Amino acid sequence: MSAVPARFSRIVGTGSFLPPDQVSNAQLAARLAADGIETSDEWIVERTGIRFRHFAESHVTSSDLGAEAARRALAAADCDPQAIDLIIVATSTPDMVFPSAACMVQEKLGIHGCAAFDVQAVCSGFVYALSVADSMIKTGLASKALVIGAEVFSRILDFSDRTTCVLFGDGAGAVVLEASEAPGILGTELHADGRHVGILCVPGTVSGGKVLGDPLLKMDGPAVFKLAVSVLDSVARSVLAKAGRTEADIDWLIPHQANIRIMQSTAKKLKLAPEKLIVTVDRHGNTSAASIPLALDDAVRSGKIKRGDTVMLEGVGGGFTWGATLFDF
Per-residue pLDDT tens over the stretch 19-35: 999 999 999 999 999 98
* Residues classed as catalytic: 123, 256, 286
Per-residue pLDDT tens over the stretch 252-275: 999 999 999 999 999 999 999 999
175 pLDDT higher than 80: yes
Average pLDDT over residues 73-97: 98
pLDDT at site 5: 67
Half-sphere exposure of 210 (CA within 13 A, CB side): 3
Per-residue pLDDT tens over the stretch 294-314: 999 999 999 999 999 999 999
Q: Exposure pattern of 38-64 as b/e (b: 16+ CB <10 Å)? A: ebbbeebeeebbbbbbbbbeeebbbbb
Per-residue pLDDT tens over the stretch 114-141: 999 999 999 999 999 999 999 999 999 9
Rounded percentage of the chain residues whose pLDDT exceeds 90: 97
Average pLDDT over residues 206-210: 94
Domain residue spans of the chain: 8-182, 186-328
Fold that domain 8-182 belongs to in CATH: Peroxisomal Thiolase; Chain A, domain 1 (3.40.47)
Let me know if the fold of 8-182 is the same as that of 186-328. yes
Is the omega angle on the peptide bond into residue 52 within 30 degrees of 0, that is, cis? no
- Pairwise CA distance, residues 169 & 20, whole Å: 12
pLDDT at site 6: 84
Fold that domain 186-328 belongs to in CATH: Peroxisomal Thiolase; Chain A, domain 1 (3.40.47)
143 pLDDT higher than 70: yes
Closest CA to 84 of 74, 75, 94: 74
Calculate the average pLDDT of the chain: 96
Could you give the strand order of the β-sheet that contains 170-180, starting from the edge strand earlier in sequence?
8-17, 170-180, 144-152, 86-90, 115-119
Whole-angstrom CA distances from 262 to 169, 298, 312, 315 are 18, 20, 15, 11
Band of the pLDDT at 2, cuts 50, 70, 90?
low
pLDDT at site 120: 97
